[in-house]
């Protein structure tokens, strides 16, 4: 930063990061920054959800799927000058896995290590030589390699973490394209380009993440040119943004699903025909069109279209109130019934406005004589009570942690997740579904797995425990002179390629 | 005087103990499991258990309260579960921006409020009285959120006169070491006058936004209090002696009418120091209010408890200072002796 003016890219976002010690983080705002500072063993390709090498140059699996051997990249340094090697990988992962590790207690819980299933499937992580490590599993776990892309499993500098301890979260050191400069809490995080990055130096000198909580103010900052890109505009501002000659809207299909779960533990939702009727009664396309302002696509499967194994051929339930009424009559509910409809109290990526969505659904259901009472307690209570099955119908959703259908289907629809507090809040208990999902989890051949997941989608379509609602797109608004900003369905690593064209 | 101070400080301590009980139980009574709030959609039984245990939520409430009090007696406010930071440090970081903003807002409100009040009072029934009272009515009724956005749209976006939000230009900021996190102080300590000017520039719109309601209240209070004083006989005497209006109002009337005005200023000041959530939100101002709001949203227990206690203590201190100010403004008011 001596003579020439540094090329600065300021990214405006709604909130600050919670922490920058990746192993403990679980929120998008933290991972967004972590992905610029750290690398994982494997990562997604820039333009797809296929896996490519990162800190691991290559890897192989034993025939039984239990032993994974990773060969590590050489001549890579952490930002503090220490070298990356097998010991650093062991330190970063064993710290999460092994309760007896001397640095296990530093920080809080390892939320993703538990959540992603690695805590129970990983047996041992061991060193073969300076640049080779081996991970053995207790049972074959097909999503394993995808799970390793989660930013929480990034490789941290052991030297730096030992030095900073609890404070590592404020002084992060990794091998990534940017190194940490400073963090003014709830204002901004400043990162500097790592010119020696193994993947090539980034396109800007400084990357700044600014917290600008108010959506409309963030947009004005962008229009004034004091920031170069931003996320989460007000949907109402989109028409204005489209007309602005200085701004570009960059879109990408997200990997998420918003759904309406029907609690099958409660009548009348145990009745198959009732669930079908409700699927026919909701004018999904029109509701999505109005509520998502072009940033959502109607869902027909429980997994999003950009997830591998997505079944294009699934026939969506059409909007047909007459057929819905007929199905209700056949089910013995010609005069309808009265149930509670739980509306999301907070905006989530997959459902931007739960209250309005609930009102639209309410009026559609009224047409087939189903009376609904909208319930919308605050978020903590909402999660607690829906996970304990107190609702009749409730909306909820999921954003992918990694690009594997298991990440959606097992948690949301397997019989084993119908145990309270449940991930499967439809309390859909199908032995057939469970056996398909179990099989797909242990099978290592991706072609066979994809077939199994298509079976799961067909079964879902037949049993309809939910009304699948929408897949939301993600967008970023950038100034016209910003180049090479393309979003990725899951990862935030795209910021490393960003460039600014000189005016 | 000393005895009075000791008595006041002791009673403050007692009140704070009351606040600690209140805030402890309130946090536990509001719905929403803190562990669940952190885990969100992904919560499962194993993760919940582990987290509750780490947060100490599996202990009986009485044990939790006892631990809270014993930490407190050592002035240890604990650690945030969300950010893992020390609560005392986080308050130390987020209070200066709030204090800076509040001081600026109250300066604006006090100077212009008293001025407008005086103008209004001496022109009673006239055009200027009507105009300031109309302005004051508008000022108290205006939604802060709307006002802030309008100021930004007009002065920052359309006219380009002021920065949109934040405390300092992002690049200038890189040259400033945040020693105190009082931006005006830090820029001066760094000897960087350009940055200091920029910090003042950033402060103006939020200070006007935050100061508008107090401005209106102070204006009205000054007016009515001054009018009351102006009706007293000694004022008539002063006029009869042929003194000019400036002398009568400025020297004889104003000081005597300030007691209720000071009360209002003190209350508003204490209130704003607790954080002005809306103004902070609009102007991306990393103050105490938005910090506390985030803690509440996440049911992050220790920061909520520590933050509320801190604000309560602050409010009580400001009140004490105001009480002491009375004796200075009006010598007839005496500090009561401790025995009373």
Query: Closest Cα partner for B162 from B215, B200, B105?
Result: B200
Predicted confidence band of residue A183 (pLDDT cuts 50, 70, 90): very high
Token pair, residue A489, equals 């369905």
Query: Residue A458 above 70 pLDDT?
Result: yes
Query: Closest Cα partner for A409 from A395, A420, A398?
Result: A398
Q: What is the CA radius of gyration of chain B?
A: 24
Q: Cα separation of B213 and A183, whole Å? A: 33
Q: pTM here?
A: 0.90
Q: Cα separation of B210 and B109, whole Å? A: 9
CB A78 within 8 A of CB A160: yes
Nearest-by-CA chain A residue for B158: A224
B93 closest CB neighbour out of A185, A377, A421: A185
Q: Cα separation of B96 and A429, whole Å? A: 55
Query: Residue A346 above 90 pLDDT?
Result: no
pLDDT tens by residue, B9-34? 899 989 998 998 898 888 888 777 78
Report pLDDT for A457: 97
Report pLDDT for B156: 96
DSSP A331-352: HT-TT-EEEEEE--SS--SS-S
Q: Cα separation of B60 and B169, whole Å? A: 49
- Chain A hits for B41, Cβ within 8 Å: 383, 396-398, 423
Identify the helix (H) or strand (E) that includes residue A318. Answer: none
Predicted confidence band of residue B5 (pLDDT cuts 50, 70, 90): confident
Report pLDDT for A192: 96
How close, in Å, is residue A344 to chain B by CA atoms?
Answer: 12
Query: Closest Cα partner for A204 from A431, A432, A361, A36?
Result: A36
Q: State how beta strands A206-211 and A188-193 pair.
A: antiparallel
CA B149, B151, B156, B160 torsion-angle sign: positive
Query: Residue B286 above 70 pLDDT?
Result: yes
Query: Residue A3 above 60 pLDDT?
Result: no
Q: What is the mean pLDDT of residues B84-110?
A: 94
Report pLDDT for A55: 97
pLDDT tens by residue, A10-26? 999 999 999 999 999 98
Q: Enumerate the β-bridge partners of residue A44.
A: A51
CB contact under 8 A, B31 and A223: no
Torsion (CA) A413, A417, A423, A424 in degrees, nearest 10: 40
pLDDT tens by residue, A283-319? 999 999 888 888 899 999 999 999 999 999 999 999 9
Report pLDDT for B340: 40
- Chain B hits for A213, Cβ within 8 Å: 281, 284, 290
Characterize A451-461 residue by residue with b for buried, 16 or more Cβ atoms within 10 angstroms of its Cβ, and e for exposed: ebbbbbbeebb
How close, in Å, is residue B191 to chain A by CA atoms?
Answer: 20
Predicted confidence band of residue A503 (pLDDT cuts 50, 70, 90): low
End-to-end CA distance of chain A, in Å?
A: 20
pLDDT tens by residue, A191-201? 999 999 999 99
pLDDT tens by residue, A386-407? 999 999 999 999 999 999 999 9
- If you average pLDDT over every residue of chain B, what do you get? 88
Token pair, residue B254, equals 């104003």
Place of tokens 């400001």: B318
The DSSP letter of residue A214 is -
Number of C-beta neighbours around residue B296 at 10 A: 14
Query: Residue B339 above 60 pLDDT?
Result: no
Predicted confidence band of residue B337 (pLDDT cuts 50, 70, 90): low
Q: Cα separation of A36 and A261, whole Å? A: 36
User: Strands of A56-61's sheet, edge to edge?
Assistant: A56-61, A67-72, A132-137, A122-129
Query: Residue B60 above 50 pLDDT?
Result: yes
Burial group, residue A245, by CB count within 10 angstroms (0-12, 13-18, 19+): exposed
Q: If contacts are CB pairs under 8 Å, which of residues 95-154 in chain B contact chain A?
A: 149, 152-153
Q: Is B93 on the interface with A (CB under 8 A)?
A: yes
Query: Residue A114 above 90 pLDDT?
Result: no
Query: Closest Cα partner for B276 from B322, B208, B185?
Result: B208
Predicted confidence band of residue B336 (pLDDT cuts 50, 70, 90): low
Q: Enumerate the β-bridge partners of residue A207.
A: A9, A191
Report pLDDT for B44: 75
Report pLDDT for A439: 95
Predicted confidence band of residue A384 (pLDDT cuts 50, 70, 90): confident
Of the listed ranges A1-15, A127-141, A479-493, B96-110, the one predicted with least confidence: A1-15
Burial group, residue A198, by CB count within 10 angstroms (0-12, 13-18, 19+): middle
Place of tokens 């990862």: A491
Q: What is the mean pLDDT of residues A350-360?
A: 92
Q: Cα separation of B275 and B270, whole Å? A: 9
DSSP-based three-state secondary structure for A181: strand
Q: Cα separation of A372 and A441, whole Å? A: 38
Predicted confidence band of residue B326 (pLDDT cuts 50, 70, 90): confident
Query: Residue B113 above 70 pLDDT?
Result: yes
Q: What is the mean pLDDT of residues A55-59?
A: 97
pLDDT above 90 covers a percentage of chain A that reads: 82
Report pLDDT for B335: 66
CB contact under 8 A, A187 and B290: no
Predicted confidence band of residue A1 (pLDDT cuts 50, 70, 90): very low
Which parts of chain B are beta strand (E)?
A: none
Q: Is B60 on the interface with A (CB under 8 A)?
A: no
Query: Residue A331 above 90 pLDDT?
Result: yes
Identify the helix (H) or strand (E) that includes residue A381. Answer: helix A379-387
Q: Is A169 on the interface with B (CB under 8 A)?
A: yes
B171 closest CB neighbour out of A8, A184, A381: A8
Predicted confidence band of residue A62 (pLDDT cuts 50, 70, 90): very high
- If you average pLDDT over every residue of chain A, what do you get? 93
Token pair, residue A371, equals 């009376």
The DSSP letter of residue A268 is T
Place of tokens 């979260």: A169
Report pLDDT for B250: 82
Q: Cα separation of A255 and A302, whole Å? A: 11
Residues whose CB is less than 8 angstroms from the CB of residue A452 and which lie 6 or more positions away in sequence, other chains included: A436, A437, A439, A440, A443
Report pLDDT for A473: 92
Q: Cα separation of B149 and B162, whole Å? A: 13
Report pLDDT for B47: 76
Q: If contacts are CB pairs under 8 Å, which of residues 356-375 in chain A contact chain B?
A: none
Angle among Cα A353, A357, A363 to the nearest 5 degrees reads 155
Token pair, residue A233, equals 């505009």
Token pair, residue A10, equals 């300021």
ipTM: 0.88
DSSP B26-85: HHHHSSS-HHHHHHGGG--HHHHHHHHHHHTTTS-HHHHHHHHHHHHHTT---B-TTT--
Q: How far is CA B233 from the centre of its chain?
A: 38
pLDDT tens by residue, A402-454? 999 999 999 999 999 999 889 999 999 999 999 999 999 999 889 999 999 99
Query: Residue A105 above 90 pLDDT?
Result: no
Backbone angles phi, psi at A484, to 5 degrees: 60, 35
Q: Cα separation of A98 and A111, whole Å? A: 14
CB contact under 8 A, B47 and A213: no
pLDDT tens by residue, A229-287? 999 898 889 889 999 999 999 999 889 999 999 999 998 999 999 999 999 999 999 99
Q: If contacts are CB pairs under 8 Å, which of residues 92-121 in chain A contact chain B?
A: 107-109, 111, 114-115
Report pLDDT for B134: 92
Q: What is the mean pLDDT of residues B285-296?
A: 92
- Chain B hits for A99, Cβ within 8 Å: none
Q: Is A220 on the interface with B (CB under 8 A)?
A: yes
CB B272 within 8 A of CB B105: yes
CB A443 within 8 A of CB A139: no
Q: Is A377 on the interface with B (CB under 8 A)?
A: yes
Of the listed ranges A495-499, B88-92, B318-322, the one predicted with least confidence: B318-322
Q: Cα separation of A189 and A98, whole Å? A: 31
Token pair, residue B126, equals 């006239």
A217 closest CB neighbour out of B93, B173, B284: B284
Query: Closest Cα partner for B56 from B298, B301, B292?
Result: B301
Query: Closest Cα partner for A367 from A400, A320, A411?
Result: A320
Q: Cα separation of A395 and A259, whole Å? A: 6
Report pLDDT for A2: 47
Token pair, residue B294, equals 């985030």
Q: Is B173 on the interface with A (CB under 8 A)?
A: yes
Backbone angles phi, psi at A84, to 5 degrees: -85, 130
């Amino acid at each position: 930063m001596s003579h020439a003016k540094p090329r600065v890219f300021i990214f405006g976002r709604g909130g600050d990061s919670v922490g920058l010690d990746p192993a403990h983080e679980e929120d998008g705002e933290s991972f967004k920054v972590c992905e610029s500072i750290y690398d994982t063993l494997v990562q997604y390709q820039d333009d797809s959800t296929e896996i490519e090498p990162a800190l691991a140059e290559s890897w192989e699996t034993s025939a039984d799927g239990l032993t994974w051997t990773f060969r590590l990249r050489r001549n890579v340094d952490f930002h503090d000058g220490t070298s990356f090697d097998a010991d650093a990988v062991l330190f970063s992962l064993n710290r999460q896995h092994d309760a007896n590790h001397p640095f296990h207690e530093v920080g809080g819980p390892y939320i993703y290590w538990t959540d992603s299933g690695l805590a129970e499937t990983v047996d041992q992580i061991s060193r073969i030589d300076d640049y080779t490590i081996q991970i053995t599993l207790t049972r074959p776990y097909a999503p394993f390699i995808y799970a390793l892309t989660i930013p929480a499993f990034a490789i941290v500098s052991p030297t730096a973490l030992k030095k900073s301890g609890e404070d590592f979260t404020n002084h992060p050191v990794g091998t990534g394209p940017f190194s940490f400069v400073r963090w003014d809490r709830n204002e901004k995080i400043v990162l500097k380009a790592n010119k020696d990055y193994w993947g090539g130096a980034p396109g800007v000198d400084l990357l700044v993440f600014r917290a600008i909580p108010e959506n409309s103010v963030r947009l004005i900052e962008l229009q004034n040119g004091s920031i170069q890109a931003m996320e989460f505009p007000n949907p109402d501002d989109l028409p204005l943004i489209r007309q602005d000659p200085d701004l570009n809207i960059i879109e990408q299909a997200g990997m998420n699903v918003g759904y309406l779960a029907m609690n099958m533990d409660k009548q009348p939702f145990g009745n198959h025909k009732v669930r079908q009727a409700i699927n026919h009664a909701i004018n999904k396309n029109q509701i999505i069109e109005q509520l998502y302002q072009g940033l959502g696509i109607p869902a027909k499967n429980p997994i999003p279209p950009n997830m591998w194994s997505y079944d294009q051929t699934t026939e969506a339930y059409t909007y047909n109130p007459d057929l819905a009424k007929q199905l209700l009559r056949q089910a013995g509910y010609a005069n309808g019934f009265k149930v509670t409809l739980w509306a999301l109290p907070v905006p989530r990526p997959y459902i931007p406005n739960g209250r309005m969505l609930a009102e639209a659904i309410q009026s559609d259901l009224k047409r087939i004589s189903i009376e609904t009472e909208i319930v919308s307690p605050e978020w903590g209570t909402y999660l607690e009570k829906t996970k304990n099955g107190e609702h009749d119908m409730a909306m909820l959703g999921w954003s992918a942690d990694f690009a594997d259908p298991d990440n959606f289907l097992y948690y949301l629809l397997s019989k084993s997740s119908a145990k309270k507090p449940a991930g499967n809040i439809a309390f859909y208990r199908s032995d057939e579904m469970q056996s398909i999902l179990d099989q797909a989890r242990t099978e290592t051949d991706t072609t066979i797995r994809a077939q199994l997941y298509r079976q799961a989608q067909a079964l879902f379509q037949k049993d309809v425990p939910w009304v699948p609602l929408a897949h939301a797109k993600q967008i970023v608004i950038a100034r016209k002179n910003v180049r090479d900003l393309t979003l990725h369905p899951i990862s935030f690593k795209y910021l490393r390629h960003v460039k600014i064209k000189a005016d | 005087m000393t005895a009075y101070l000791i008595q006041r400080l002791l009673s403050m301590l007692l009140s704070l103990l009351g606040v600690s009980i209140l805030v402890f139980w309130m946090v536990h009574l509001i719905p929403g499991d803190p562990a669940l709030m952190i885990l969100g959609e992904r919560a499962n039984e194993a993760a919940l258990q582990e987290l509750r245990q780490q947060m100490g939520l599996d202990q009986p409430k009485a044990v939790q309260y006892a631990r809270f009090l014993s930490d407190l007696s050592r002035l240890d406010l604990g650690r945030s579960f969300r950010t893992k930071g020390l609560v005392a440090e986080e308050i130390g970081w987020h209070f200066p921006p709030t204090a800076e903003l509040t001081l600026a807002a109250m300066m604006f409100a006090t100077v212009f409020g008293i001025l407008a009040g005086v103008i209004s009072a001496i022109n009673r029934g006239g055009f200027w009285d009507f105009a300031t009272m109309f302005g004051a009515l508008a000022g108290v009724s205006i939604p802060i959120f709307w006002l802030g956005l309008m100021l930004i749209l007009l002065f920052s976006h359309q006219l380009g006169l002021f920065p949109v939000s934040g405390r300092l230009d992002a690049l200038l900021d890189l040259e400033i070491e945040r020693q105190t996190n009082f931006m005006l102080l830090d820029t001066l300590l760094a000897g960087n006058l350009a940055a200091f000017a920029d910090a003042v520039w950033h402060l103006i719109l939020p200070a006007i936004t935050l100061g508008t309601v107090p401005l209106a209240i102070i204006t009205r209070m000054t007016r009515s209090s001054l009018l009351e004083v102006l009706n007293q006989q000694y004022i008539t005497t002063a006029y009869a002696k042929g003194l000019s209006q400036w002398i009568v109002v400025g020297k004889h009337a104003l000081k005597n009418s300030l007691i209720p005005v000071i009360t209002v200023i003190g209350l508003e000041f204490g209130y704003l120091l607790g954080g002005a959530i809306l103004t902070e939100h609009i102007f991306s101002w990393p103050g105490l209010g938005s910090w506390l709001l985030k803690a509440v949203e996440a049911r992050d227990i220790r920061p909520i408890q520590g933050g509320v206690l801190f604000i309560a203590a602050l409010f009580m201190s400001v009140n004490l200072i105001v009480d002491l100010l009375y004796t200075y403004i009006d010598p007839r008011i005496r500090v009561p002796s401790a025995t009373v």
